[in-house]
Structure 1
Amino acid sequence: MGSSKDDVDRLFACFKCGVSPPQSAFRVRPRQQGKKLRVTPSAEGDGGGSSSSSASTRKAGENASEHREPSSAAIKFRNRKQMSPVVFYGSPQGVPVKKPMSLLRLLREIHIDLKKQTDLISRDVVWATFPRQDEAIRFSKEHAHTKVFSYQDHLSGQRRFLVSTYDEFWRRYNNMDPQIRHHYEVIQEGSPCHIYFDLEFNAKLNQKRDADEMVDTLVAVTFSALQDKYSIEGQEEWIIELDSSNEEKFSRHLIIRIPKTAFKDNSHVGAFTSEICSLIAAQRAANPNLDKLYITKDSSGAEPVDQLFVDTAVYSRNRCFRLAFSSKSGKKSFLVATGRFKCKNMNDKELFMESLICRLDDDCDKLLICKLDLECKKALHFDTEASVTRIQAKNCRVAIDTYRSDFPQAYTYGRSPFPALDGFIESIASFGSVSGNPHTAEQILSQK
């Protein structure tokens, strides 16, 4: 073959004549990444018939094609994402419990946010106002250290509600202009409270009345009822007496604070007051001194009405009761101490705190009950029960005893048998460098 022919022509001529092409005629393509190519070596020697050489060449080409197709399919399969057999079939030992890291992280962030919110709103500086009473009560229930108060706008007389602590309220209240003090304590439904009376009558229709004597008589009857119903001997040093009388109207507030004791709520105080009124009415004929408690009330009829000077309408739920040093909107009569009973040697803050109906001392451990008897609806049932603090402590003790009986002794000390639960509690309780390791109830009680 002439040298002028290129490789293609020479290769074609070789196949045409049945001669095996020289090795230089094969140009191996560059190997692609991820693929393995098989190259069939050429037959040794230039001899042999044209038919056998052609057949062997075709067979080699077919074999190479057959080998390339499965190889490329395998390469494509290997390039896909593979799944672990353990993931697909599952571990023989079972899948380990995954820690809810995302949940713990979220709760940790919530804990930090709540801590920041608590830092911004300190327990002693809460002061929030609301146009509606139910909104204020709802907010107060979310902040257990707060109480609900009410006030009237000095100009419009419109009533609004505010939530604050006793100390913060007094701090602002004491620095307020006395002329705009129109504030009330909201006696919330279901809240323990002290005995309180609202005493009033028309001064012009009841002239020559000795108000102090009337109050003393009412106190004597009240102490007699306490002794009879609850075996409590009353003391005058328990009494706070406030007065806002003027020429037209006699008005006093009487608060009796029994040490370590309170009524379950103001509905029970109302029932007890009704019992006192019934006793006065029943003994009026036999005891002429009780006549002093009856006053003449202005009426539209020809003859005036004779009734007790005790207002029995102030025991409704969520009742607003005027605070010491306050006046009604548009009035100039302030509620101040009379200087009798316990008010003799008290400063303004002590008087204010002692006159609060729902403020209980930390050592209060008994609640008085006065309600209708279930068997006889016309009779009152008098009883006592432990305060909320004692009830909670008792329930906690019962829960601990039940816990001990349900689990082995080893589980009542140290960490619980649930590591995931311990980790969850620790992530929530820990803050900064302080570790929130969970304690058992047994350890908590032993540290008190």
Structure 2
Amino acid sequence: MKRKSKWFKLTPPRVFAGGFALIIAVGTLLLSLPAAAVSGEATPWVDALFTATSATCVTGLLVVDTGTYFTKFGQVVILILVQLGGLGFMTTVTWFAIAMKKRISLRDRLMLKESMNLLGIEGVVRLIMKVLIYSVVIESFAALYFAYRLSQEMPLGHALYYGVFHAISLFNNAGFELFGGFRNLTPYVADWGINLVSMLLILFGGIGFIVLSELVDYPSSRRLSLHSKVVLTATGILTLLSALLIFIFEYTNARTLGPLSLDTKILASLFQAITLRSAGVNTIDITGLRSATQFLMVIMMFIGAAPGSTGGGIKLTTFVILVGAVLTMVRGKQDMVLFRYRVPKRDIYKATTFSLLGLFCLVLSTMALSTVQGQDFLMILFEAASAFGTVGLSAGLTPELGFAGKINIIVMMYIGRVGLITLAFALQPKLKKDSYRYPEGKLTIG
């Protein structure tokens, strides 16, 4: 009995991982109902599970076309899953608790800290309330703009529905869209308004609520934390570098940037670079990209978005710490310093662990997919990286996945959203602390 209690103790990682699993289970049940499909027939459970996981893990990989396969009921279910998945299970529960005037206990605060990837519990409830305000304001303004723009080509009521759906999907970096035919935003590649608003939504969702909160408070506080400085700097550098490389690689490609005007080529390159953070929407044909561009995207999707955001991957801060550790070693320095702050050794160990576990999962998933799917290796790697990074871009493989391939991608999306370390802690019966230390040994490295 005592052993059983170790497994069923509700630790923060277990609540976080279990909350996502519960949302996915409910979403699967609703999406498998005949009322959710245009055909009036029950959706196969594996397709319903895949769609529910993709929505809850805010990924956007699709085995069926959202705009043509699902009814309004099914689309609304997907939208709710996206919102719950993007903001988090514990965040939503806390909002209801505050609305019911319930006290937020220390245990609840610890769980919120885990779900938001915070360093401590100080100010966590205040941040949760800011998340609600920021989400409502940003999504509302974006929805109104999309509705205004789309009303020029469809009835107002239809445009308003599309506006709300795409504002929520883009802000939560989910990648679901309703235009049909797996076209995504390709019809609007030259539309500066839709592109700019979409990119802002993706960036706001991808940098995380911690950074967003500090940016809003910056005019009065005049300060940013080390976390925000690293996230904003890394986002800027990786986005500009990716945009430049995409522009160079695809400049003459007749299937992507080739036929476009110079200003549209720049806009499309920047959009694709930003969407790699975790958004899963595209304005050019991903299947038509050159191999060099697709491999660049694999690297960027593996890095992912910021901690505490709606994105997956190993996270921006992890990548920065890895690069910083390499530069520190090459320069012969003892301490790694970022913005005049020394990075603790434990953070370097943590970043290394994240990266290696992520690489192991990506390699294992790619090998398994290569065994059951007969497509090109780069296409398979692209899809696995997209699932792990919860990005949602597809090189064309996902709609052709068999049963084993769908299960593979489902697992990768869940791991990418929940996080490898959180999942590992959730599965541990009990954390053990060593009562002794071994003598230090020396190894030859390099």
TM-score scaled by length of structure 2: 0.22
Return the structure number with greater strand share: 1
**Which of 1 and 2 has higher RCO (CA within 8 Å, sep 6+)?**
2
The structure with the greater share of residues assigned to helix is 2
